[in-house]
Amino acid sequence: MKRIISLLLVFLIFRTNSSVLRLPRSDVYKLSLSQRREGEEWQTIADVTDTILLRAYDNKPSPEDYPMSSYVVLFSRKQVVVQPDSSYRIVIRRIYEVFDERGKRAAGNASVDYFPDTQRAKVLFARTVSPEGRFFHLDDAAIEDANLFSFIPQYNRKKRLKFALGEVRVGSIVDYAFEITGRKCADPALFSLLFQGKEPVIHSEFSIPQGMSS
C-alpha cells in the first residue's frame, strides 16, 4: 500500500508500509488513485487477520469433492441492522472457491441493485486470493455504477453497482462485501436470504437484530 506524501514538478514521493519511495516524474507514465478498503494491506495469506476468511481458506474443499460444480460458496452472510429511526444498514459478504473456467466468470463478477433516491450502495472490499496465497485487490477502474433501465425513462429509478475482479484463476478464492444503507425499502427481498444456490454452499447465515423476527 502506497500513500502520496507530495507531488512535485520533478519527483513523486510515496510512503509505503515500511519506507519512502521517491520516483522521477519522467519515469511515471500514469498515476491511479483508488479508495482505501479493508484488508488492502494484505499481500499474502500470512498477512490476513480476518478469521472468517482464514477459516474458509484453511477448510476449503477439493474439486474432487464436488466434481459436477464450477465453484463452491465457502461463506455467505447477510447482516441487517435497523435503527430506531427505521434507517438500516445491510452488509452482504460472499467467499467463493473457483473450480473451472465457468466458475471464474461466476465468482469474479458481482453486483447489487439499489434505488439511489432512498438508498446508497458501496463496495466494502473485494479481493482475489491466488492458489499460491497472493492477494489481488479490486481496482476502482473495475467498478461500474449504472442505471438499470436508462432506456425506459419512466422506470429509471434503479441502479446496479457491479465490478469484475482481476487475476481470478482456477483454484482462486474470491472474497467481497457490499453495503446498502437507506431509510426506505422498495424491495422487501432485501431483508431476506435464500438458503440455497446454483452451486454448493458450505456455510450460509442471516443476521438480524434481536427481536426483529418476532
- Cβ proximity of 173 and 74 under 8 Å: yes
Block mean pLDDT (10 aa), the chain, length 214: 56 72 72 70 92 94 93 94 87 96 92 89 94 91 84 78 92 95 77 77 85 56
pLDDT score recorded for residue 140: 84
pLDDT score recorded for residue 214: 47
Rounded to 10 degrees, the C-alpha dihedral 112/115/119/123 comes to 20
Q: What is the domain partition of the chain in residue ranges? A: 1-31, 45-207
Between 3.40.50.720, 2.40.110.10, 3.40.50.410, 2.60.40.3140, what CATH number should domain 45-207 receive? 2.60.40.3140
Distance CA 214, CA 195 (A): 20
Distance CA 58, CA 179 (A): 26
pLDDT score recorded for residue 33: 60
pLDDT score recorded for residue 48: 92
